[in-house]
Structure formats: structure tokens, C-alpha cells
């Protein structure tokens, strides 16, 4: 799959989903309007009785357009995350010792998010020589805003935009030492039989591998989700990343599986886990993780 084909597929998916969502919206009977929460802010929090259902950007790589209610705090984190990669003539194992994303609701439709890995351990073994190296330390810091434009409090379609900036807090061997930025469109569509579909087209501006100039990177994610009980949601996902570095374009593709459990008596708490399977030799072969989310 070349890069331009991947972008075309992503654009086509977005168009198809928009049409499908519009059709569903026309066929679905009008529901009672949600309460007006537009006046709540960080300093005048949304009352507990008016909180929307717990909504996270876990467990898969896709993210939802929903935001954290105004004045409330949410943490979403891997408890353990391990990746096995066999590309480039080496076996690389990467462990993340937690991976917290901290979210704070600023208004009813806007939240601020910070993500950083406190300890990342990268072990590389050269398959030809057997030589092994290990690097460990802090990961890069990601600062993000999520602004919901549609469907934060219900509806057939949800839409948000989420710009971010990456600050180079990681040392060489873990990060690339560059400030980088990007933005994601977060789209969700409710489908028949309790299915939902999330699509996240993303465009990034990354540092070149061989100089300090920048190039485009694109990501496309499509995730199909469905509750299988009152407390468990399963997800299947297709993810692709096309990096247009002048030194050589690369494409990664994975098929991802995830499961989330929200206990019936603890609606502000979630446990989840998943596995991501690389579909070409540029993509890490396996990534497995388990994590937790909590709203306050």
C-alpha cells in the first residue's frame, strides 16, 4: 500500500461515514434534548448528576470525540505495555512502565490533555552479531487539546478536532530530540445493533531523519466497537501510518483488538487490554498492553 493510496482510502472512509451518519440521523426518532451544560467551566464544574457516561480514548489506537466534563479530571494509562519488533536486522523490545494521559475538562466541549511515559526501556539485539544495547529513561511529553464540535452529549454522529505538540523530553535512543506537531479529526458514527465506528484521520509535521527540516506524516484509524454485555465492550481496528520522510517513505499497518470493562457499580472506572498485530515488515510484530482509566 503506497502512501497516496492510504490517504485516499482515509478520505473515502470519512466521506462514507459522514453520509452514513446523516442517513442514520434522518431515520432515528428525535430524542429528548440533553440538559444545557454550556455554562459549566473548570471553575464551575458539571454536577455529578449531569455527567455523561465515562468515555475514554482506550483501549485501541483510535480516540473518541467525547471530552471530559467541565471541572472534572480523568486519568487513562497503560499499566504495562510491551512491543516486539523485528525490522532493520534487529530484535527490538520496548517496555513502557505506565503511560499516563491526564485530562482536565475546561468547558463542556473542550478538554486539555498531557501524556508522558515516566520510564521507557528499549532493548535492541543485532541478529547478525548478537550485540545487545539497552536505553531507558523518560519519554517525550505530548500536550493536546480536544474540542468537540458535535455529539458530545449524544446523537448519531460525533465530531471533534484535536491538535497536539510534542516536546522533546526523551533522550537519544528513545526520542528524536525535536519539537513536532499535528492534528487529528475524531469522528464517531452510531450504527445499527449497538455497533459504533470511530475514524481518526491525522496529519503530523515531523523532523526529517537526516536533517532538521520537517516532513508530512499521515495516520488513518478505523475502529468498530460493540458492547457484548452491560459492562464489556469489544473493539476491532485497522491502523495505518505513512511517513513521507525524504530519506525514504515508510508505511506501517496493523490489525488491533481491544476489550474494556466498566463495572456496573463503578461507572467512573475502566479496566482494559488489547493486542496490536503488525501486517507488514515495517510494523512492530506484536504490541500487548493492559490499562486503567478513572474519572474524578
Residue with cell 467551566: 41
pLDDT above 60 for 15: no
**For residue range 227-276, what is the model confidence (pLDDT) as tens digits?**
999 999 999 999 999 999 999 999 999 999 999 999 999 999 999 999 99
CA dihedral 151, 19, 202, 87 (to 10 degrees): 120
Does the residue 35 lie in any domain?
no
The pLDDT, as a whole number, for residue 239 is 98
Query: For the whole prediction, is pTM greater than 0.85?
Result: yes
Single out the residue of 46, 120, 124 nearest to residue 80, CA to CA. 120
Does the residue 84 lie in any domain?
yes
Does the residue 89 lie in any domain?
yes
Does the residue 159 lie in any domain?
yes
The pLDDT, as a whole number, for residue 32 is 58
Expressed in percent and rounded to 5, the helix, strand and coil fractions of the chain are 10, 50, 40
Report the CATH number that the domain containing residue 175 is assigned in CATH: 2.40.160.40
Does the residue 57 lie in any domain?
yes
The pLDDT, as a whole number, for residue 87 is 86
Q: How many domains does the chain have?
A: 1
Average pLDDT over residues 89-103: 96
pLDDT classification of 35: cutoffs 50, 70, 90: confident
Does the residue 34 lie in any domain?
no
Pairwise CA distance, residues 135 & 258, whole Å: 29
pLDDT classification of 170: cutoffs 50, 70, 90: very high
Range of the domain at 185: 3-26+41-295
Q: What percent of the chain has pLDDT over 70?
A: 89
Does the residue 263 lie in any domain?
yes
pLDDT above 70 for 161: yes
Does the residue 264 lie in any domain?
yes
Amino acid at each position: 500500500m503506497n502512501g497516496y493510496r492510504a490517504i485516499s482510502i482515509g478520505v473515502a472512509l470519512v466521506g462514507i461515514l459522514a453520509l452514513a451518519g446523516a442517513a442514520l440521523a434522518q431515520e432515528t426518532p428525535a430524542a429528548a434534548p440533553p440538559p444545557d451544560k454550556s455554562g459549566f467551566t473548570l471553575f464551575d464544574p458539571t454536577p455529578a448528576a449531569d455527567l455523561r457516561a465515562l468515555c475514554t480514548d482506550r483501549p485501541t489506537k483510535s480516540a473518541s470525540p467525547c471530552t471530559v466534563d467541565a471541572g472534572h479530571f480523568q486519568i487513562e494509562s497503560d499499566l504495562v505495555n510491551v512491543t516486539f519488533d523485528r525490522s532493520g536486522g534487529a530484535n527490538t523490545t520496548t517496555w513502557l512502565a505506565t503511560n499516563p494521559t491526564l485530562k482536565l475538562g475546561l468547558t463542556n466541549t473542550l478538554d486539555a490533555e498531557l501524556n508522558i511515559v515516566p520510564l521507557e526501556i528499549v532493548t535492541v539485539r543485532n541478529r547478525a552479531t548478537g550485540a545487545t544495547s539497552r536505553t531507558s529513561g523518560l519519554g517525550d511529553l505530548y500536550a493536546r487539546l480536544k474540542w468537540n464540535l458535535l455529539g458530545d452529549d449524544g446523537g448519531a454522529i460525533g465530531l471533534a478536532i484535536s491538535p497536539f505538540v510534542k516536546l522533546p523530553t526523551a533522550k537519544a535512543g528513545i526520542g528524536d530530540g525535536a519539537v513536532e506537531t499535528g492534528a487529528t479529526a475524531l469522528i464517531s458514527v452510531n450504527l445499527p445493533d449497538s455497533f459504533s465506528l470511530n475514524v481518526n484521520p491525522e496529519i503530523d509535521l515531523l523532523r526529517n531523519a537526516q536533517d532538521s527540516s520537517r516532513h508530512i506524516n499521515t495516520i488513518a484509524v478505523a475502529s468498530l466497537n460493540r458492547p457484548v454485555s452491560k459492562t464489556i465492550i469489544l473493539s476491532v481496528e485497522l491502523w495505518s501510518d505513512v511517513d513521507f520522510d525524504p530519506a525514504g517513505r515508510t508505511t506501517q499497518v496493523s490489525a488491533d483488538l481491544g476489550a474494556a470493562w466498566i463495572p456496573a457499580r463503578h461507572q467512573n472506572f475502566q479496566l482494559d487490554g488489547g493486542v496490536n498485530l503488525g501486517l507488514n515488515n515495517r510494523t512492530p510484530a506484536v504490541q500487548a498492553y493492559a490499562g486503567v482509566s478513572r474519572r474524578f
